Structure formats: structure tokens, C-alpha cells
Amino acid sequence: MILAALIVVAFLGGWQAYTALSSIDEFLLPSPTDVAAAAWGDRGLLWDNFTVTAREMGIGLLIAVVIGVGLALILHRWSTVRRGVYPLLVASQTVPIVLVAPLLAAWLGYDLTPKLVVVALVCFFPIVVPTLDALSGVDAGRIKLMAGLGATRWQRLRYVEAPSALPALFTGLRLSIAIAAIAAVLAETAGSDEGLGHLMAQSIPQLETARAFAAIIVLAGFSVLLYASLSLAERRLAPWAHPSKGLKT
Amino acid sequence: MPAKGAMKSLTRAPSVPAIATLSPASVVVDSVRREFPDGTVALDGLSLRVGRGELVAVVGPSGCGKSTLLDLVCGLQTPDAGRVDLTGRTVLMPQGDTLLPWASATDNAALGLRVAGTGAKQARARARTELAALGLAEFADAKPAALSGGMRQRIAVARTLLSGADVACLDEPFGALDAITRADAQRWLTDTLAARPRTVLLVTHDTEEAALLADRIVVLSPRPGRVLEQIPVDESRPRSVSDPGVVAVRAAVLRALGVVR
């Protein structure tokens, strides 16, 4: 954490020095202080657009989790379905979202729905893959234990497979959070009149580059915050995934 | 077929009917054969009986089909020939460390009860009481990662006994423990079974463990596994490795295995 802060400080210092020493145009590369000034000056505007994007990311991720976990459970339960559907899942990830997003806006309108589709479509895949792998890769000894106790399939899922897969689900979620912001911005630039993506797309042609940078920083900050709260949740809900050192005898 | 006839006479060792008349049998394994898809014959013409309340130890060289035998008794595999008759329900404690790392010792011990349909609260209360009765009270709330190997295996045994099954099949319960820890755990198991009598089929590669714990030792041949000899152990418990009876039984087992003459 301290290291991350040091890197940020060094980066900002270098950036500031570069903009001060070179005669680069403020509209091409604003200095960190310009960005900070823009962030403060436009705080109301940034906040309003942030809440829009945050909602798209939050609800989209939620949908991605529900679909991702649901699919993982279904594919784990029926191996025939798995063989049939897995290639389709991979194919779904080759859909060029950049090109499809405007179409989605045309089909579904300018409101929340097309953004949720884009975010969910991009984010469910990194959740399905590790979760499914973990469900199917449960330690053979534990499977035998449950069989030896006479457990049903449901009991095996509940007592062994689901807890075993939980850390993998969190791993998938972490990957999803990182790309949810990009997906939301992309969907907004494809057709929207609000949100941080829309604000960035508007600010650059208006030569408000500092404001666009401020929007990026808000979005990055939000992603880091989401990531951190997820790590916190993981420590609480799946502490066995990260056993503290020195505990084992 | 003369080979099969020879095998049959081996499986009908004289001690089998004698034990069977002492108490009603809980487990009857009758001339089972088990062949894996790759053509390996794990067991062939293996017969044994486990009387109610009896502790039978199965020893044999590695790969002789000991674990397969337990799978057959617990219904995890079906024999290709012969049959397995059970009186009551069996439960298996598989080889290795099988405590669930996310659950406390109490919740681990309660797992068998939960699977059998007992409510969460009641199962936990019974597990807690049982752990206390078996001298494991101080570990009741600990996660497996915080427990030593010996304690983990004891809790796994407690889980197996607590599941309420009539026949407990233990596959190398203390196999991975160091000698000192294992001796402690074996003494603990003797005390536990004295307080909680149960029919037990114990698989072990440790002849000393078999001689210390068992009422009768079944010696298996190398693969395909069949019964070479059955050796009763008439020593009172708790036993010690230096007891003349235990020493004699161990020697007999090693002779049957062909390790010593």
C-alpha cells in the first residue's frame, strides 16, 4: 500500500516536471495540478456523471455474477451441456464489443439497459471460467469423503464444492471489476448523454482535456475502491484462501 | 479351474467361521473380484467377515487393493463378481487429511450428522459434546489449519464415529503421522472405541498398528488381493508394543506377508 502510494507520488512528480519543463500544450497534456483544478472546479459535474457510471458498473457486475455463477453451476452439473455450451461462451467473448455497442444502443435505447448488457457480457466470462474450474477441480479426497458419508449431489455441492470454489469466484470477480469500467465507458461513448465515458468523449473535442483526465482518475479511484472492498469481503467470507503465515504448525 | 479352487480354500480360513459364530456379522465380503477398466485386477476371490463390534485390521503390501476393499464395503465401487452384504450403514474415512479447511473442528465433526439429515444446531451441539467427551474440547472452535496433524486426524475419526453409521471403515487414519504422534493417536483410538464400541474395518500398512488395535488381522496378498491369513489378537487392551502377545502377533503378520521367515 505504501509502495503503491510512493509509485503514484513519483509518477505525478515526473508528470508535473515534464509538463513544466517541456512546452507541451495544456490541451494535449495537462499537468497534474491542472487536472486537480479541473476536478475541483467540475466536482458537481463529475459527481453526477460518476453516479451514472457507478450504477452501470455495479448493476452490470451483479448481473455478470448471477449469470456467471449460474452458468458455472449448470455446466458443472451437466457435462454434456458443458461440452456444448463452453465453445459458445468462448465465442461470445470474440464479439467485437466496440462495434456492437452502438447497435445495442440503437436496439435498446439510450438508457441504462444497453450499458448493463455490455458490462455483463464482458464481465461474466472471467467469472465463469475460474469458478467452473474450481467446482470441477475439488480435491478427490474430499469428494470421496462426501461419498463415504453417503452425501447427495446437493450436499456435496453445499458442503464441499461451493466453499472450494468461492476463492476462485472472488478471483474472477477481481478480473471483472478491472474491465467493468472500460466496458461501461465504451457503452457510454456508443450512445449516451450522461456518465463519465460520455463526459470524457465530450471534454476532449471541447479542449477540456484536464476534465477528461479528472474523469479518468475518478473512474480509476472507484475501481480501486471496488477492488479493495472485494478483497476485504474475500478475507471475511473465504479466509481459508489466504491462510495467514505462521498459523500452520 | 484349479486356481480358483485353491483361492477358495484360502478364503475359507478356519478362523472365519469361528469368529462368525461368536457374533452376528456386520460385514460379509464373499469371493469378490474387482477389475479396473485398464485391466488391472485389484481384488480376486477375496472373502472376509467382520463381526458386530469387532475391529478387523486389513494389512497387505502397497497396491494390494486395501482401499478398493473399503470402497466395495462402503458401496463406492461395485464388485465385478461376488457380493458384499452389510448389516446397517457404513461410513468411510478416506486416506489423507480430509478435514474441510473452512469449517471449525466442531463443524467438521458435525458433517456426517448434517449429511444424515440432522439440523445444523443439533448437529453442532452433538459434535461439541462428543469432541469434549473424546478429550478434544479445547480444539472445538479451531480451524484445521491451526491444528496439528494428530489432532486433525482425531477430529476426522470423531466425525466418522459421530455420523452414526454401524460400520466405520478407516483407511490409514494415522498413516501420515510421525511415530510419536501416531502412538498417541492409536492410544486415543483404543480409549475412544472402548467408550464408543463400533464395528471397525481398519486398513493399515503398519503391522504394529494392526497388532495394537485389532481383534483380528486379515493379511492380504500382493495384487490381486486375496486373504492370505487371518490372525486373531487375544491381548487385553490397552496394549503396548512390548506386550509379548503384540510382539508375537506382529511376527506372525510379518511371516504371513513373507517379510520374515
Strand order across the B25-35 sheet: B41-51, B25-35, B81-86
Q: Distance (Å, rounded) from C-alpha A24 to C-alpha B103?
A: 60
**CA A44 to chain CA centroid, nearest Å:** 25
B 220-259 → A contacts, CB under 8 A: none
pLDDT at residue A244, rounded to an integer: 55
Q: Distance (Å, rounded) from C-alpha B167 to C-alpha B81?
A: 22
Query: What amino acid is encoded at B210 in this protein?
Result: A
Q: Please calculate the CA angle B11-B17-B21 and round it to the nearest 5 degrees.
A: 155
Give yes or no for A238 touching B (CB within 8 A): yes
Q: Which residue of B has its CA nearest to A144?
A: B94
Chain A neighbors of B145, CB-CB under 8 A:
240, 243, 247-248
pLDDT at residue B10, rounded to an integer: 41
Least confident of A139-148, A240-249, B159-168: A240-249
Whether residue A163 and residue B100 make contact (CB cut-off 8 A), yes or no, is yes
Q: Which residue of B has its CA nearest to A243?
A: B145
Query: pLDDT tens digits for A174-197?
Result: 999 989 999 999 999 888 889 998
Considering the entire predicted model, what is its pTM?
0.81
Which residue in B94, B111, B163 is closest to A144 by CB distance?
A: B94
Q: Which contacts of A201-210 are long-range, i.e. CB under 8 A and separated by 24 or more positions?
A: A207/A27, A208/A38, A209/A26, A209/A27, A209/A28, A209/A29, A209/A30, A210/A26, A210/A30, A210/A34, A210/A35, A210/A37, A210/A38
Give yes or no for B218 touching A (CB within 8 A): no
Whether residue B94 and residue A160 make contact (CB cut-off 8 A), yes or no, is no
- Segments of chain B scoring below 50 in pLDDT: 1-22
What single-letter DSSP state applies at residue B259? S
Chain B neighbors of A163, CB-CB under 8 A:
100, 102-103
Chain B neighbors of A149, CB-CB under 8 A:
91-92, 111-112, 115-116, 163
Query: Which residue(s) pair with B229 in the sheet?
Result: B219
Least confident of A123-127, A206-210, B146-150: A206-210
Q: Which residue of B has its CA nearest to A160?
A: B100
Q: Distance (Å, rounded) from C-alpha B30 to C-alpha B46?
A: 7
Angle between helices A125-136 and A162-190 (to 10 degrees): 170
Q: What is the ipTM of this complex?
A: 0.82
Which residue in A141, A149, A243 is closest to B111 by CB distance?
A: A149
Smallest CA–CA distance, residue A154 to chain B, in Å, is: 10
**Helix/strand/coil percent split, chain A, to 5:** 80, 0, 20
Residue B172, CA distances (Å) to B26, B43, B169, B178 in order = 21, 18, 10, 13
pLDDT at residue B260, rounded to an integer: 79
| Candidates A138, A145, A242, partner chain B, best to mutate (most B CBs within 10 A) | A145
Query: pLDDT tens digits for A48-86?
Result: 999 999 999 999 999 999 999 999 999 999 988 888 888
Query: pLDDT tens digits for B194-203?
Result: 988 899 999 9
| Candidates B78, B90, B102, partner chain A, best to mutate (most A CBs within 10 A) | B102
Give yes or no for A22 touching B (CB within 8 A): no
Give yes or no for B217 touching A (CB within 8 A): no
Query: pLDDT tens digits for B201-227?
Result: 999 999 999 999 999 999 999 989 999
pLDDT at residue B42, rounded to an integer: 93
Closest by CA to A185, choosing from A50, A38, A59, A92, is A50
Query: Which residue(s) pair with A224 in the sheet?
Result: none
